[in-house]
């Protein structure tokens, strides 16, 4: 059986970059998600294959660390591979490398499958990968995706209304879009070094996400609320 490793190249377009022509964190996440989606199809567990089982993929958590910025005009290689699954969760690793094979970004994500009928978590026993697991990891220990911080006295708040152009084919706010929302919240020139973001509940078109921000020793902490429900939580480590 073939090893479950997928590699593809992305050209960094101007729409993927920030004011300094550096690849935005939201674009990093978009590259990762696109590569994962294609790889899932290759493994026989893509979007349409799961729809036939009344299931679809949902991302619970993303974490990535940026060691060196890709820039406008670069061609970057994205590598991704799944890790051994647990009863309910599927982990997947990523790398972004330049033409010299220098590691730019490493990341890991946690996925699950949701019923299209109940919108509830399923065990996904019918989701079977076709191939052998890649014998390499940047994360030998299971990641801790739980975020337990609270924000009672925010340094800043921000409201964002979900637009049609924000939606993916699951009809909720695309996961990569969250990082652009946070970027627009500050409109700052801080460089993001590391991202941890937990997706708790879906946000749909027309809904208002009320975002609380607090700078702490851990980094820039965010909680997004839709009504009384937590939508997402995030910690970004930045530098000037």
Chosen CATH of 6-122 out of 3.10.129.10, 3.40.50.620, 3.40.50.880, 3.30.930.10:
3.10.129.10
Q: Please report the pLDDT score of residue 144 as a whole number.
A: 86
* Identical topology for domains 6-122 and 156-239: yes
Q: Please report the pLDDT score of residue 201 as a whole number.
A: 94
The answer to whether the pTM exceeds 0.75 is: yes
Placement of tokens 């499958």 in the chain = 113
Domains in the chain: boundaries: 6-122, 156-239
Whole-number average pLDDT of the chain = 94
Q: Please report the pLDDT score of residue 37 as a whole number.
A: 95
Q: From residue 168, give the alpha-carbon distance in Å to each of 33, 128, 163, 192.
A: 11, 24, 11, 25
Q: Please report the pLDDT score of residue 98 as a whole number.
A: 97
Q: Give per-residue pLDDT as tens, 138-192.
A: 999 888 888 989 999 999 999 999 999 999 988 999 999 999 999 999 866 789 9
Q: Give per-residue pLDDT as tens, 178-207.
A: 999 999 998 667 899 999 999 999 999 999
All residues at 6 or more sequence positions from 25 whose CB lies less than 8 Å from its CB, including other chains: 64, 66, 179, 183, 192, 195, 236
Q: Please report the pLDDT score of residue 122 as a whole number.
A: 86
SS3 call for 125: coil
| CATH class in words for 156-239 | alpha beta
Q: Please report the pLDDT score of residue 187 as a whole number.
A: 67
Q: What tokens appear for 215 in the block?
A: 């700078």
Q: Please report the pLDDT score of residue 142 as a whole number.
A: 83
pLDDT lower than 50: segments of the chain = none
Select from 113, 114, 35 the least CA-distant residue to 76.
35
């Amino acid at each position: 059986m073939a090893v479950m490793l997928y590699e593809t190249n992305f050209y960094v377009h101007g729409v993927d970059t920030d004011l300094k022509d550096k690849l935005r964190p939201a674009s990093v996440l978009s590259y990762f998600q696109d590569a994962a989606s294609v790889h899932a199809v290759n493994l026989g567990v893509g979007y349409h294959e799961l729809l036939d089982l009344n299931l679809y993929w949902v991302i619970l958590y993303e974490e990535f660390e940026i060691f060196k910025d890709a820039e406008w005009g670069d061609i970057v290689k994205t590598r991704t591979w799944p890790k051994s699954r647990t009863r309910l969760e599927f982990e997947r690793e990523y790398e972004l490398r330049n033409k010299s094979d220098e590691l730019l970004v490493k990341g890991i994500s946690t996925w699950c499958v949701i019923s299209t009928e109940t919108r509830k978590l399923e065990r996904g026993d019918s989701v079977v990968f076709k191939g052998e697991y890649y014998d390499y990891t940047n994360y030998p220990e299971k990641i801790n995706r739980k975020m337990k911080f609270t924000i009672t006295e925010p340094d800043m708040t921000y409201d964002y209304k979900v637009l049609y152009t924000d939606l993916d084919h699951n009809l909720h706010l695309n996961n990569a879009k969250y990082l652009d929302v946070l970027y627009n919240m500050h409109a700052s020139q801080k460089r993001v070094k590391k991202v941890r973001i937990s997706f708790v509940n879906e946000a749909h078109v027309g809904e208002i996400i009320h975002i609380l921000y607090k700078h702490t020793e851990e980094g820039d902490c965010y909680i997004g609320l839709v009504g009384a429900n937590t939508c997402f939580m995030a910690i970004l480590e930045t530098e000037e």
